[in-house]
Structure 1
Amino acid sequence: MVDMCEGAHEHFTENPEEFKKFVEEAEKPLYPGCHKHTKLSGLVKLYNLKARHGMTDNCFVDMLIEVGDLLPIGQELPSSMKKYRDLTSCPKCGLSRWKVTKKNVVKKEVPTKVLWYFPPIPKFKRMFKSLETSKSLTCHSEAQIKDG
């Protein structure tokens, strides 16, 4: 989470108005009158579902379309996450989407950056199953002097 915030800060330092627009877009209610979820929280919940159950990208896009149809008129859920799928360079900075070798040869189908997502909760559960490991993970908290 910290890396993501630092990355967002670095990206939007040059254009704070763009960051403000990004935050406003993320904080929009999922649909008019919705007080429980924002556009961002709804997408994060759906991405967690995708990762937890190993959904394919096509399945996820189909689910976005179907859920969007179920929501009231004016909903903010995107109907696709593949807006830039066919681009070969970044629409903002123009850098290549694919890795470039030292000899300036573009390696098609080898992406420059890859974002890996894994849900942390199952890993924490596995780590805390072992008594020895859980003691090691909590020793810094338990060893502190609590003076009130």
Structure 2
Amino acid sequence: MDDNDLGDIGFDPYEFANVIGDGDQPLYPGSSKYTMLSSLVKLYNLKAKHGMSDVCFTKLLILQEDLLPKGNTLPFFIYEAKKTLSALGMSYEKIHACPNDCILYRKNYEDSTNCPTCGVSRWKEGKDSILKEGVLAKVVWYFPPIPRCKRMFQSHKTAKSLTWHAARKSVDGQMSHPADSLSWKLVDDKWPEFGKESRNLRLALSSDGFNPHSSLSSRYSCWPVILVTYNLPP
């Protein structure tokens, strides 16, 4: 996503339900392949992938509206498109971080310009060794998990799948799901109140680094931290 594209619009569960309802509408009368929502997601994917500006994307939406048959449901303003997508719970927060991973510049450190632990500047240093004030050295892209967890329970099908592990029985005695593991049973024994409620989410945390530019000479790397829901069936 582009900077600040969806980060400033909150998550409203009622708005989410309305968007899902609107998203089921055909893109235009007689269309069976695309809905308004699926079309918008594909177009916004192109915007993010190719670095398209908001102005360019707006012009693309206007052109699409003109090309499509009358009665089409595609929004033709960038604000409407962002508002529709933000209701899906895709908002994020950008948090400034110390280049050496000591701290996050938030709460007590929100206005600091140097790391209190290692002393390194918050700003990026140019090739001339001059700090570029305002250009961040490191940024954490934080995708709040709670709105996304709430969204999972808003779907009858997904909500039922989230409690699938409590009703299933291992037929052959072999471990075919994390619910069969000793770790799962250990959590139930250690926190019985948590274990009694099958809707409580069991999450796995995974992280690893990669170079998004596929260049060994590049010093730039990404470290995504991924949460996986173990409640769901395989």
For the superposition of Structure 1 and Structure 2, which TM-score range results when normalised by the shorter chain? 0.3 to 0.5
Higher strand share: 2
Report the structure number with the largest CA radius of gyration.
Answer: 2
- Give the structure-2-normalised TM-score: 0.29
- Give the structure-1-normalised TM-score: 0.45
Higher helix share: 1
